[in-house]
């Protein structure tokens, strides 16, 4: 099927077009620059930016794909989770296009879409698969028995998401928002073993009570204390070493638990999705550990890890191909939509 996907859950207005699982267009307009000086996404600003960018971004995607709206078989849209006002703009637009063009509407889950986008690059996902979802708002281990409707959370973060930890640590190192890519870049010149930061929820008791859960707020505090102590001593903060050591702590725990979950469940495929999956050290460490454990690793290229419309189109296309019914035109945006709810 030819599917147009609309994404507006945060600060990216994304419109993707796929035919089957072939990517034809992935247009993006981001309001990230308007939020940078606030050190985080401002919901009202994001909503207004989506409103302005929506129609031009849809036209840009159609132009790039070389198709007309009348050619499209279905329209998919992120129904949640995300910022309520931001989601609303995408859902309203999708409904309007669906109604006006007479196309079925599919409301989809943003988190499931972060996982589904990988099939655009690597083909059908062998199920069951394990998914490590690491983004700005989530860090979870998911068991995926069916990408179109059977996804279960095995564990998730008890406090901060991995991306949130990257952004907060970047901020205290004086790096711009969003900080993940900056930490990644600065860490390349640093020593990941310079400072031993805590690995959250990896103690013997934790591994029994919370084998697949994560915790990053203690790590963030440890980095803050370490930096403060340096500053108090009047010594320069070795930003590259702090970035590399922090990044090592996060990616060590993420990959260790993801591989352990695969091994325990006898699952041979691990897919990583979400913005933090763009992290170069996470990709490298996951590859090393997956190879050693005999697990097939799938990670989309960095540009498809962060929010985009292609991921929504990819999941929508799977739903259409599976013969699932479209959503009701009365669907609402659901800012706290659980990943188990793949579609509405
Ligand atoms: P969610 O998907 O949970 O709703 P979101 O959509 O806001 O959250 P994504 O766009 O999926 O988040 O991911 C954004 C996050 O990814 C940010 O926290 C950003 O810092 C982080 N990120 C992006 N690139 C990298 C990188 N190279 N290294 C580490 N983190 C990164
Ligand atoms: Mg973003
Ligand atoms: Fe996201």
Mutate to test the pocket of ligand 1, among 108, 142, 180, 308 (most ligand atoms within 8 A of CB): 180
Tens digit of pLDDT for each residue in 117-140?
Answer: 999 999 999 999 999 999 999 999
Output the CA 136–ligand 2 centroid distance in Å.
8
Tens digit of pLDDT for each residue in 62-83?
Answer: 999 999 999 999 999 999 999 9
| 134 token code pair | 């690491």
Tens digit of pLDDT for each residue in 261-290?
Answer: 999 999 999 999 999 999 999 999 999 999
Ligand 1: does its nearest atom lie under 6 Å from the Cβ of 7? Answer: no
Mean pLDDT of 233-244: 98
- Tell me the residue length of the chain: 344
For the purposes of burial, counting CB atoms within 10 Å of the CB of 328, is it exposed (0-12), middle (13-18) or buried (19 or more)? exposed
Residue 191: phi and psi, rounded to 5, are: -100, 115
- Of the candidates 10, 101, 109, the residue with the CA atom closest to the CA atom of residue 327: 109
Spell out the residues 6+ positions from residue 114 whose beta carbon is closer than 8 angstroms to its own.
133, 135, 273, 274, 305, 311
Residue 83: phi and psi, rounded to 5, are: -75, 125
d(C-alpha 14, C-alpha 57), whole Å:
7
Ligand 1: does its nearest atom lie under 6 Å from the Cβ of 278? Answer: yes
Mutate to test the pocket of ligand 1, among 136, 167, 188, 302 (most ligand atoms within 8 A of CB): 136
What pLDDT is recorded for position 37? Answer: 85
Q: Cis (ω within 30 of 0) for the bond into 178? A: yes
What pLDDT is recorded for position 36? Answer: 85
Is-above-0.95 flag for pTM?
yes
Cα distances (Å, whole numbers) of residue 48 to 37, 45, 175, 274: 17, 5, 26, 24
When the pLDDT of each residue in the chain is averaged and rounded to a whole number, the result is 98
What pLDDT is recorded for position 58? Answer: 98
Atom of ligand 1 nearest to the CA of 11: 7
Tens digit of pLDDT for each residue in 79-101?
Answer: 999 999 999 999 999 999 999 99
Mean pLDDT of 103-110: 98
What pLDDT is recorded for position 39? Answer: 87
Q: Whose CA is nearest to atom 5 of ligand 1?
A: 136
Atom of ligand 1 nearest to the CA of 278: 27
Spell out the residues 6+ positions from residue 113 whose beta carbon is closer than 8 angstroms to its own.
5, 7, 78, 311, 312, 314, 315
Cα distances (Å, whole numbers) of residue 50 to 93, 265, 320: 10, 41, 26
Output the CA 264–ligand 2 centroid distance in Å.
33
Ligand 1: does its nearest atom lie under 6 Å from the Cβ of 139? Answer: no
Ligand 1: does its nearest atom lie under 6 Å from the Cβ of 166? Answer: yes
- Is it the case that residue 296 has pLDDT exceeding 90? yes
- In this prediction, residue 193 has a pLDDT band, given cuts at 50, 70 and 90, of very high
């Amino acid at each position: 099927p030819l599917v147009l996907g609309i994404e507006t859950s945060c600060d990216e207005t994304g419109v993707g077009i796929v035919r089957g699982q072939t990517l034809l267009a992935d247009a993006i307009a981001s309001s990230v620059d308007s939020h940078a000086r606030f050190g985080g996404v401002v919901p009202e600003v994001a909503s207004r930016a989506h409103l302005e960018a929506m129609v031009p971004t849809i036209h840009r995607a159609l132009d790039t794909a070389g198709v007309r709206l009348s050619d499209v078989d279905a329209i998919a849209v992120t129904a949640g989770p995300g910022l309520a006002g931001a989601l609303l703009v995408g859902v309203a637009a999708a409904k309007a296009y669906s109604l006006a063009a007479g196309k079925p509407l599919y409301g989809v889950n943003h988190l499931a879409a972060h996982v589904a986008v990988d099939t655009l690059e690597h083909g059908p996902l062998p199920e069951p698969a394990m998914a490590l979802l690491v983004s700005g708002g989530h860090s979870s281990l998911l068991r995926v028995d069916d990408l179109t409707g059977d996804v279960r959370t095995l564990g998730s973060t008890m406090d901060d998401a991995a991306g949130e930890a990257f952004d907060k640590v970047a901020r205290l190192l004086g790096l711009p928002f969003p900080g993940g890519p900056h930490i990644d870049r600065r860490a390349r010149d640093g020593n990941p073993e310079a400072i031993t930061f805590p690995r959250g929820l990896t103690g013997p008791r934790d591994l029994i009570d919370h084998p697949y859960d994560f915790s990053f707020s203690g790590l963030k505090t440890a980095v803050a204390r370490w930096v403060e102590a340096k500053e108090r001593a009047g010594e320069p903060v070795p930003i590259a070493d702090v970035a590399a050591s922090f990044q090592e702590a996060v990616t060590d725990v993420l990959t260790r638990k993801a591989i352990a979950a695969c091994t325990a469940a006898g699952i041979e495929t691990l897919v990583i999705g979400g913005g933090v999956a763009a992290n170069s050290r996470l990709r490298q460490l996951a590859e090393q550990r997956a190879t050693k454990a005999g697990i097939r690793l799938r990670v989309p290229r960095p540009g498809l890890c962060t929010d985009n419309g292609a991921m929504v189109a990819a999941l929508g296309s799977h739903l259409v191909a599976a013969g699932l019914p479209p959503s009701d035109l009365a669907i609402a945006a659901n800012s706290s939509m659980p990943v188990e709810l793949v579609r509405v």
